[in-house]
Structure 1
């Protein structure tokens, strides 16, 4: 699987935003048209988009649903993979998005609360469409929009969900996320080593070197948000650094 740099399109209140540490009200970026943002990433060469419904994740509301539906439609027409997370709390929620045309749904709190949901969805739709998000803080997996910590590590949960049928994992190191301080690759590398399914990393990407550092862990891709939106580097620069350092 070729390593990918995946732009994040996080939505709250109908806008494209970037929060610091997932805290509402901490928006460092707020753009009025998430659809235009998504189309721009596609135009720049993105093969996968990472959509997060923050209202769904934080409040359980679906006010961004029409925007998500439009992005899925536009992405499918352009051959772009769309993965969606945020507030997917039931089989019906996930099934709706997959039937809408999403390529991959990202389960977090729902998977931790009801692990059999992963097995049920994988059986119904195929493992390749089911991703489980493992958001780690202080070594433990966080749930409910990062409001609470579970008693489990990402490695423990990654192995469990692989056995239940998840096709990919999304690992976010909350300790670094949104702070623009760079990455700590060790937790990602540990998870990659512990499972046999692809791991997508997220959290803390600040420089082009951070992208190469994550690739060196064996992860199949990295989600980038704040660094792109604040101009730390461009998406084209990210693609170029991968081409220039194919063997690193």
Structure 2
């Protein structure tokens, strides 16, 4: 399995942004053209893009859907894998994205509130195209744009969604996300060791060393946002570091 560095393109109000701890108004990066931002990562070597509609995640309405469609169309002939999350609340929402041509749909709140949705999508489109997002704060799952905390742990939910047909998991450690203070590999390693499907890590990467630390957990890849946008390191350097790790 090849560990992959996946640039994030988070969208809010039609712009490409990076938030601190997912809090609206905490933007540390705001770019006017998400399509150009996405294509720039492709030019720099990205093989997969991680697109998030933050308006959808926070408000439940996928306001940035037209921009996502433009990115998918622009990348269609380049062989770029695209995973999309944020505000996907129904089978119809997910199906429309998968039929558009994205590689993986990422279900967060919808999966936790309606687990059968994961099974339905997996049966309809194949498990490899269904990713469940497990966002954790203080060891417990958070939903609705990180505004509500649940009683379940990532390991409990990871095992459950693997049984229901999820082809992969996206694990975000909210405790470190957006703070640019480094990663805590322990929760990621615990989840990786508890399931048999790929786990993509996210949250807190601020250095090339963090990438090496997460690779050693057995994760399949890592989503990186703020560190790339603020110049902590380049995507080219990240890819090279992982290649020689």
Deviation, 1:154, is 0.1
2:43 paired residue number: 43
User: 1:172 aligns to what SS in structure 2?
Assistant: strand
Where does residue 57 of structure 1 map in the other structure? Answer: 57
1:29 alignment partner in structure 2: 29
In the alignment, what sits opposite 2:196? 196
* Partner Cα separation in structure 2 for residue 131 and residue 17 of structure 1: 23
SS at match of 1:21: coil
Matched with 2:179 is 179
Distance in 1, Cα, partners of 2:53 & 2:43: 22
Pairwise CA distance, 1:77: 1.4
Aligned: 1:10 with 2:10: yes
Q: Residue 71 of structure 2 aligns with which residue?
A: 71
Per the alignment, residue 168 of structure 1 pairs with 168
Distance (Å, rounded) in 2 between the aligned partners of 1:60 and 1:152: 22
Shift of 1:63: 2.3
Report the 3-state secondary structure (helix = DSSP H, G, I; strand = E; otherwise coil) of the residue aligned with 1:117: helix
3-state secondary structure, aligned to 2:119: helix
1:17-68 residue CA offsets vs partner (Å, 9 max, x unmatched): 0000000000000000000000000011100000000011111223211110
SS across alignment from 1:218 = coil
Partner SS state of residue 82, structure 1: strand
Matched, 1:123 2:123: yes
Gaps of 5+ in 2: none
Work out the CA distance in 1 between the residues paired with 2:199 and 2:171.
7
| Partner Cα distance (1:70, 1:45) in 2 | 20
Worse-matched range after superposition: 218-227 or 234-243: 234-243
| Higher alpha-carbon deviation: 68-77 or 152-161 | 68-77
Secondary structure class of the residue paired with 1:217: coil
Report SS of the residue matched to 2:142. strand
Give the SS at the match of 1:135: strand
Question: How much does 1:100 deviate?
Answer: 0.7
Q: In structure 2, what is the Cα distance between the partners aligned to 1:58 and 1:171?
A: 18
Confirm or deny: 8 A CA contact 2:62 2:88 kept in the other structure: no
Paired residue secondary structure (2:26): coil
In 2, Cα distance between equivalents of 1:166 and 1:235:
28
CA deviations on 1:134-173 (whole Å, 9 max, x unpaired) are 0000000000100001110000000000000000000000
Provide the residue aligned with 1:87 in structure 2: 87
Q: Which runs of 5+ in 1 are unaligned?
A: none
TM-fit CA distance, 1:16? 0.1
Aligned partners of 1:153 and 1:100: how far apart in 2? 33
CA distance in 2, matches of 1:142, 1:157: 12
SS at match of 2:170: strand
